[in-house]
Chains A and B, each alone.
Chain A
Amino acid sequence: MSKLMISSISSSIRGICYRVWSFYRDGFRRMRLGRKLWLLVAIKLFVLFVVIKWLFFPDVMQERFSNDTQRSDYILRQLTKEQP
């Protein structure tokens, strides 16, 4: 009985997964304008995350200090240094 239930549940999960997969697959296949837009999105994400983020935007606090205590100390030094 329980084996039957497990088998029925697993086949219905497979059915749902297949329906979701085919929904997206057919949707992407039928796209026309969307293909151009996806290409644009992919290029943009590549430029943003690979080129710009990697080359120009390091996380300064992560890069300069190895733990939160050092980061806190640095900010406290900034906040309490004498003003000219």
Chain B
Amino acid sequence: MIHPDPTLVDWSRAQFALTALYHWIFVPLTLGLTFIVAIMETIYVKTGDEWWKKTTRFWMGLLAINFAIGLATGIIMEFEFGTNWSNYSWIVGDIFGAPLAIEGLMAFFMESTFFAVMFFGWDRVSKRFHLLSTWLVAIGSNLSALWILVANGWMQHPVGMKFNPDTARNEMVDFWALVFNPNAYSKFLHTISSGYVLASLFVIAVSSWYLLKKRDTLFARRSIIVAASFGLLVSLFNLTTGDDSARHIAQDQPMKLAAMEGLYDGKSGVPIVAFGILNPSKRYDNHEKEFLFKIEIPDGLSLLGFHSFNAYVPGITQLIHGDKEHGIPSAREKIAKGRAAVAALKAYKEAKKRDDKEAMASALRAFRTNEAFLGYGYIQKEQELIPPVQTTFYAFHTMVSLGIWFILLFLLVLYAAMTNTLRKRRWLLWAGLLSLPLGYLAQEAGWITAEVGRQPWAIQDMLPVGMATSNLATSPVMLTFWLFATLFTALLIAEVAIMTKQIKIGPEGASHV
């Protein structure tokens, strides 16, 4: 939320959020649509039916539009790292360097080479080589996402590194720990599978429009069968990856889990809120009710977070005040340890200046003892450790509710398409069409849950956002915020306009990409 007199941190944060959210409009469709066209082309190669070739080329054209418009929108975040987040970039530099370099190389070689074959090679290479290229584009673009999410997973759960007090940088000590960070791979699988869901919704929405317009009906029905089958499978997979993600959040980011569920008072056998309206007056230090209204599933949160009906889940109050019975330290204890780490770092720096080896060793020992709490040393008040609960709760519940709706939609649409009754069920076609914006909403809600829910941390427990920002004047950040808002909106308008024109032309008259 941007208030009238924003601070530099708020504007930097808002700018990054804007860039990331807009970037994520383009990416998931590419991730999923590459697989859908690969499936369609596989059917073409298997059956030899030219009609499937035409279908594949039509969806490939829409993929090209989305790819071209989304291309390089993520690079802006790298600009922001260097300018607005220079402290952060310096501190994480060694960790981000490797995954992002691999991502750049993979994106360049896999996507660029085989993308050209995919679009230019229809009549120049063999059917099988063309199909291989299409699959490699799909796999390559998804693997590019892996490296980005490895970097993001590290921020949520930093592993495989050691802070060097001489350089003030984190240095990688175990590359494989970084790559196989449980938080990273569960996030990767959940994120890419959500992209597949969005692409399935996209194909269903466009095809539903054709059916509502009573044109290209065979094309639309067959496209729907592929998309709904794919969508149903990946939605079910998405449920399992979401469950895995929740388990990691419960272990590594308990405050985020508590915010996602609006849970203030933890206990054993905590229910999950299926639907709820949060009480805006509730705080961790008062006795107001948590919800104005709620429908719960008994023991659901314990099951989700710990795979046990009776597991204890701490609430925001326990995470702030501590809970000795369950071994949860209070925020005050963590802040004290964090300040001890900061003081030891300062002592180390001063001892180094005096070239006092003994004092350096002693300060370093003190630093290593409390290093895990370093970020808490920059927290002024314990309530700063609570993320915006309302935003996190509603974003999470929006994502989950829509995810369940999409499963139902895929089932209904697939059944109607298989029984050839889709055209009679106009309400279902409208539902298919209108679910596309809901797909985008679910995507963004997922990222809001992940990123707002981990506030105040830029790197979990290590670096709060306030310490990560550069010391800049606020006005250029405000200016570039609006510049990006304008640029991205223009790109979005261009995407919708070109895409709509191409869809109206349809599969029969689609031009050569």
Contacts and interface: CB of A to CB of B under 8 A. Distances in A.
A9 to B, nearest CB: 23
A41 B68 contact: yes
Contact of B72 (A48, A68, A79): A48
A76 B349 contact: yes
B505 to A, nearest CB: 9
Interface in A48-63: 48, 52-53, 56-62
B494 A61 contact: no
B83 A59 contact: yes
B167 A72 contact: yes
A59 B90 CA distance: 11
B345 A59 contact: no
Nearest to A29: B120
Question: Which of A40, A75, A80 has its CB near the most chain B CB atoms (within 10 A)?
Answer: A80
A33 B57 CA distance: 13
A78 B512 CA distance: 56
Nearest to A44: B72
B330 interface: no
B40 interface: no
Nearest to A75: B168
Contacts of B342: 79-80, 83
A71 interface: yes
Nearest to A76: B168
Interface residues of B, number: 51
Nearest to B476: A56
B359 to A, nearest CB: 15
A36 B349 contact: no
Contact of A59 (B82, B116, B120, B502): B82
Interface of B: 61, 64-65, 68-69, 71-72, 75-76, 79-80, 82-83, 86-87, 89-91, 116, 119-121, 124, 165-169, 339, 342, 345-346, 349, 377-378, 380, 467, 470, 472, 476, 479-480, 483, 487, 491, 494, 498, 502, 511-513
Given A31-B513, A72-B166, A78-B87, 14 more contacts: A24-B116, A27-B121, A31-B512, A33-B498, A36-B498, A38-B68, A44-B72, A59-B83, A61-B89, A62-B82, A71-B90, A75-B87, A76-B165, A80-B345
